[in-house]
Amino acid sequence: MISEQEEKFSETAHQLLASYNVEDLPFKTAVNDRRLACNSQFQFKSWSIENPLNRTLQRSIVTSLAPGESKEFVVVMQAPMGASYADMLSKL
């Protein structure tokens, strides 16, 4: 099943982004901020998955695959409405 994850992650934003080059990130995180990172998907509903059968956008998809079989899915990112600026964080 492909769908959005939990409302809060088990890591802080700094821990989630630690493996990336700091200069490549669109926003900075504080090392001493111990709050768990929020999944921006719950706040902004910013992505959908395109159903490969009928090309409609859906919040989740359930599919069966045979061993060794692969399937491509298109994840559609949408700009959040009503937010002039926001730091977004999500795992896909």
pLDDT tens for 3-42 read: 455 677 778 888 888 888 878 887 777 778 888 777 777 7
> What is the count of structural domains for the chain?
1
Query: Looking at the domain assignment, is residue 28 inside a domain?
Result: yes
The residue segments making up the domain with residue 29 are 13-77
pTM: 0.46
CA 75 vs. chain centroid, Å, equals 10
- CA end-to-end span of the chain: 12
Query: Looking at the domain assignment, is residue 71 inside a domain?
Result: yes
Query: Looking at the domain assignment, is residue 38 inside a domain?
Result: yes
pLDDT of residue 77: 77
pLDDT of residue 2: 44
How far apart CA 3 and CA 64 sit, in angstroms, is 15
Query: Looking at the domain assignment, is residue 60 inside a domain?
Result: yes
Query: Looking at the domain assignment, is residue 85 inside a domain?
Result: no
Query: Looking at the domain assignment, is residue 88 inside a domain?
Result: no
**Cβ-contact 12, 39 below 8 angstroms:** no
Q: Band of the pLDDT at 53, cuts 50, 70, 90?
A: confident
**Cβ-contact 74, 3 below 8 angstroms:** no
Query: Looking at the domain assignment, is residue 34 inside a domain?
Result: yes
> Could you tell me the two tokens for 29?
């995180």
Query: Looking at the domain assignment, is residue 70 inside a domain?
Result: yes
